Structure 1
Amino acid sequence: MTQATPRPPGTPCWVSLMVHGLDATQEFYNALFGWEFVPGPQHLGPYVRALLGGKEVAGIGQLPPDRHLRIAWTPYLATKDADETAEAIRSCGGTVAVGPLDAGEAGRLAICSDPAGAVFGIWQAEAHHGTAAAGPPGTPVWNELLTYETSGTGKFYRTVFGFDVEPVISADHDYATLYVAGTPVASLHGVGNALPRDRGPHWMTYFEVADTDAAARLVLELGGQVLRPPRDGTAGRLALAADPEGAVFTLVRSAKR
């Protein structure tokens, strides 16, 4: 198993999904992305790590039967001190819903939300540094926050994580890129009232695919949904999809490919 290297604070370092049907979800993502699975830390219940070519790319856990939370992919942002970052999140108007708590010897985590309600995790790495592959088909390659507006939201993430926030100057789009040490690591997209009423502000994970159209067809065959058909965008060819339990994600064949 290939280990990831430590990430600078603020960098998205992992994506995780909590579902009710762990076995069925593994079957879906195995067929869609070719993931294989190994047991991970069981601190919050049954949990597996997804591998692609022997490299860790994501995590999937099982919710207790009585927990009816929104099923969603959650990005984790790296931190050197989960407790200190959790306190900063609270002091800046965010919420810490779970933790900070230890995930065995892997590290320390908390599940949080920003002032607008978008959920994300923080990860203080010990033995486990996070995603060990990003770029090949089947790996997470980008995270974008869909929110009401980017100005106040950007201030929150800049204050807590030290991001440089670079807005796109446009009369038509409210968009900003988050940078860590000069490297773009995530984006903010203000869409105002165009946010889905049933989701509100939320983080979106992009997974690389070799062929967006074929991947979208496969999602349907596997019992998922295609919420927005394949289309060409500045990042590449994109489609918005959901797995059988409703976790939404973006398929992308990046423009660089």
Structure 2
Amino acid sequence: MTESRGSAGPNGGMRRRTPGTPCWVSLMVRALPATEEFYGALFGWEFRPGPQQLGPYVRALLDGREVAGIGQLPPDRPLPVAWTPYLASDDADRTAETVRLCGGTVGVGPLDAADAGRMAIASDPSGAVFGIWQGGAHLGAAVTGVPGTPAWNELVTFETASVVKFYTTVFGYGQEPVVAADFDYITLDIDGRPVAGVHGMGHGLPRDRGPHWRTYFEVADTDATLHRIVELGGQVRKPAHDSDHGRVAAVADPEGARFWVIQSPH
């Protein structure tokens, strides 16, 4: 995993992200006010309205800087409540077309999100959903590497070989296998910098979910965060344990949206 603490560019703005860089995470929910209350209490987020092309939508801010988005699901669409990473693109239309040519599906867009940028929601050939983001006025998360911000994105799938070929073709990633017995894991790189992981789980993949992207959020204290999540009506899905990258746990918010929390080692 890697950390960065913001991407300040000229004119006080953000630098445009290299294509393929995870630049944003977004959650679509049924009860937007209750979800704002949960994440506000958990991560200290505040909220302000964002583009409304897909319905009511807010951007989450930490200390005044944007970190994530939360939108309201249409009541007539029984879509899953899940965190979705957005991968940067210089041309969302061209990326969407490449997704189709490589066996993926484009479910939404490409469409303009006001002046913020152009977006699409797609799925890879195994069915895992991700977003495509061509930044305009909004280039993505303004801060990472501190508690309450996305720390890592990881695709959980059946096996890595075929799906990694899809992502490297669409986004131009390099790849670095993690060498370990009985562990199918590949890190996706941009210019030698790790930006995301792909974990092949075979029959260990949760049957109720299928292939999907996981979002990890940085926290100051994993165990204290789990206690707070339960207090706020969420669930602990996998208890905290120590990993090579820090103390991690799998959790879910009150609507069932799953995410991971990680306390990086100091």
**TM-score relative to the length of structure 1:** 0.98
Letter in 2 for 1:175: Y
Measured against aligned partners, the alpha-carbon deviations of 1:68-110 in whole angstroms (never above 9, x if no partner) come to 1010000000000000000100010000000000000000000
Letter in 1 for 2:246: G
Deviation at 1:59, TM superposition (A): 0.1
Deviation at 1:3, TM superposition (A): 4.9
> Which residues of 2 match residues 46-57 of structure 1 at below 5 A?
46-57=56-67
CA RMSD after TM alignment: 0.9
Runs of 5+ unmatched residues, structure 2: 1-11
Q: Distance in 1 between matches of 2:81 and 2:123?
A: 15
Deviation at 1:4, TM superposition (A): 3.5
Indicate yes or no: 2:117 matched with 1:81: no
Deviation at 1:193, TM superposition (A): 1.0
Q: SS of the counterpart of 1:241?
A: strand
Deviation at 1:234, TM superposition (A): 0.9
Letter in 1 for 2:120: A
Letter in 2 for 1:49: R
Sequence identity, in percent?
67
Runs of 5+ unmatched residues, structure 1: none
Letter in 2 for 1:9: P
Letter in 2 for 1:164: G
The residue aligned with 1:35 is 45
4+ residue segments displaced more than 3 Å: none
Q: SS of the counterpart of 1:157?
A: helix
> Which residues of 2 match residues 3-152 of structure 1 at below 5 A?
3-152=13-162
Number of residue pairs the alignment of both structures matches: 255
Indicate yes or no: 2:166 matched with 1:159: no
Deviation at 1:135, TM superposition (A): 0.6
The question of whether the paired residues in 2 share the 8 Å contact of 1:3 and 1:132 is answered with no
Deviation at 1:171, TM superposition (A): 2.3
Indicate yes or no: 2:258 matched with 1:243: no
**Which of 220, 237, 248 lines up with 1:210 in the alignment?**
220
Q: Distance in 2 between matches of 1:218 and 1:168?
A: 33
The question of whether the paired residues in 2 share the 8 Å contact of 1:93 and 1:114 is answered with yes
Q: Distance in 2 between matches of 1:254 and 1:208?
A: 7
Q: Distance in 2 between matches of 1:168 and 1:206?
A: 19
Q: Distance in 2 between matches of 1:3 and 1:118?
A: 32
Measured against aligned partners, the alpha-carbon deviations of 1:168-221 in whole angstroms (never above 9, x if no partner) come to 122220000000111110000001111111110000000000000000111111
The residue aligned with 2:9 is none
The question of whether the paired residues in 2 share the 8 Å contact of 1:240 and 1:251 is answered with yes
Q: Distance in 2 between matches of 1:216 and 1:55?
A: 25
Q: Distance in 1 between matches of 2:78 and 2:261?
A: 26
